[in-house]
A and B are shown apart, each in its own frame.
Chain A
Amino acid sequence: MIASFTLPSPTGMSVPFDTDFLTDMRRDLLRFARLQLRDDALAEDVVQEALAGALAGGREFAGRSALKTWVFAILRNKIVDAIRERSRSINVSALSVEEEAMDETFDSLFKPNAHWQPDEAPAAWGDPEAALGQEQFWAVFEACLEHLPANTARVFMMREFLEFDTDEVCTELAISTSNCHVILHRARTGLRRCLERSWFANGGASC
Chain B
Amino acid sequence: MLTCKEVTHLLSEGQDRKLTVAERVRMEMHLLICDGCSNFSRQMNFLRKACRRYVESLPSGEKKQP
Interface residues of A (CB under 8 A from B): 24, 28, 32, 65, 68-69, 71-72, 110, 113-116, 121-125, 128-129, 132-135, 138, 141, 159-161, 163, 166, 180-181, 184-185, 188-189, 191-192, 195-196
Main secondary structure of the interface of B (DSSP, over half): helix
A191 and B47 contacting across the interface, CB-CB below 8 Å: yes
Number of interface residues of B (CB under 8 A): 35
User: Can you list 7 contacts pairing A with B, beta carbon distance less than 8 Å?
Assistant: A114-B4, A115-B3, A133-B63, A141-B54, A181-B16, A181-B17, A191-B47
A121 and B63 contacting across the interface, CB-CB below 8 Å: no
B61 and A24 contacting across the interface, CB-CB below 8 Å: yes
Main secondary structure of the interface of A (DSSP, over half): helix
A114 and B59 contacting across the interface, CB-CB below 8 Å: no
Give the total number of A-B pairs whose CB atoms are below 8 A apart. 98
Whether A125 contacts B54 in the complex (CB less than 8 A), given A166-B17, A181-B13, comes out as: no
A125 and B60 contacting across the interface, CB-CB below 8 Å: no
B51 in the interface (beta carbon within 8 A):
yes
Name the residue on B nearest A121 (C-beta). B36
